[in-house]
Chains A and B, each alone.
Chain A
């Protein structure tokens, strides 16, 4: 009998063995994003190194943390894999369809999960640019405003969670 699975092999591979999950020490940029549709949240850390010869700024290391479903975690792992080694300009060009293409079959209702991963990466790059007084592209500014607003709503929705988190973990 043909084996049926809820998700593609590629999705399950990245979900079960996520690449680049965790945190970076002294990151060059941090991006937080939330998904208003389902309530998932994601955090991206990037390390950026400048190539002295070309002047290009390269994402030399990247890590992520995600609270979300199978596809959200798989997307996080995939986008981290895709962004590592890329210049900031190249990384900003990664869109949700690029991630989805690499992951293969994803149910239509889960497509919004890829937006979360792209948003968190864009936010990390934005954070780096602000910290380093770089000129921020207009499009990225707009993206940042949209994500910031969304995150505020999510944090409001998760407010009890943050309280709980504070009580339990921050005391330790």
Chain B
């Protein structure tokens, strides 16, 4: 049976070119990048080349890239590291500003900082999921140490006005962190033009391996480590570097940068076709912004249908997607992002996210468009809604 993967915001397959680049670093060039002998220096050289590739992808300096274990660690390091470095009595900074639609890696870290005595402002978003830069400016106080607003939403794909937000932070001398895990490699990023001080990225969202990520930390930013040890990564992140993973991340970043324009345009065409056709299904709605969205993201909600049922039904038909329904979450709460953009509880119940990738074709989209309306209809037939409740 046909199997179509449309969950690229969850993870992506490793590109064959990336895998080839990684291969020598498992059993041949296996040195520890901290060692002084040739084995070690061989690993170090490969690692530094990767650092340069990642720096190039976002217009940063080589020494501004810190390798981590992934997006979640990068977000933790950015928030905890900045807070710890700036809470001292002389500095007295104990206030964070973030948004209600951040990834859990940011939100739960901020909630933990609250338990440590920090104050956190969670900014609302509009119906498209956009943060208003004026809200950021209004929320900044004397004791604000960090603003953390994502570059693009992992759920609804909305691209935030980070350049404006960064400018406001710069003018107010507040550090600005952005979670770019979904945006990195998909849309152009320039940390200087966008006034970004810290940026999180992850390899496995851009056809690299899982378990490796990076945090861009602008030169001169006052940050503390959260993992202590041998002083790796400029004393900001200890632990022997994941050399093969880092080489894979470097290769993936280089490919993403080179192919971004062409691939982005291709995916936007497929995405817009998918959105246009799916919205022809009765009582279906688009979540997120119609144009200010990632090239590969489509997110809908269907009235009278529950999302987990939708996902499993589509899975049986060979289509892999995801949902923000309460029934599919571990907490039985619907997606905080969908609630933040104003969806009602039951509307979030019927959400479906389809995220495209490099290997998806026009035929894949046609197949989805053939299957999806029937699946929605079938689930509606089982449902007591549709004019049948309390007859």
Contact = CB atoms under 8 A, between A and B. Distances in A.
B312 A165 contact: no
A158 B330 CA distance: 22
Contacts of A38: 326-327, 332
A165 B384 contact: no
A65 interface: yes
Contacts of B381: 21-22
Interface residues of A, number: 37
A145 B273 CA distance: 50
Contacts of A168: 282-283, 303, 387
Interface in A56-75: 65-70, 72-73
Contact of A65 (B305, B332, B388): B388
Which of A23, A38, A109, A158 has the most chain B CB within a 10 Å cutoff?
A: A38
B304 interface: yes
Given A37-B332, A164-B303, A170 B327 contact: no
A106 to B, nearest CB: 13
A172 B387 contact: yes
Interface residues of B, number: 32
Interface string A144-172: 00000000000001101110110011101
Interface stretch (A39-47, A83-91, A132-140): A39-47
B139 to A, nearest CB: 30
B349 interface: yes
Contact of A21 (B308, B345, B349, B382): B382
Nearest to A16: B316
B380 to A, nearest CB: 9
Contacts of B282: 168
What DSSP secondary structure best describes chain A's contact surface? mixed
A1 interface: no
Contacts, number: 95
A39 B387 contact: no
B78 to A, nearest CB: 32
A68 B327 contact: yes
B382 A32 contact: no
Residue in A41, A67, A162, A165 with the greatest tally of chain B CB atoms within 10 Å: A67
Nearest to B380: A67
Interface in A7-41: 7, 12, 15-16, 18, 21-23, 32, 37-41
A117 B325 CA distance: 20
Contacts of A18: 382
B385 interface: yes
- Among B309, B325, B328, B381, the most chain A Cβ lie within 10 Å of the Cβ of B309
21 contacts: A21-B382, A32-B389, A38-B326, A39-B349, A40-B327, A41-B384, A41-B389, A42-B384, A43-B384, A43-B389, A67-B306, A69-B308, A69-B328, A70-B308, A157-B346, A158-B345, A161-B303, A164-B283, A165-B387, A168-B387, A172-B387
Given A67-B383, A67-B384, A72-B327, 5 more contacts: A12-B312, A32-B384, A32-B389, A65-B384, A72-B306
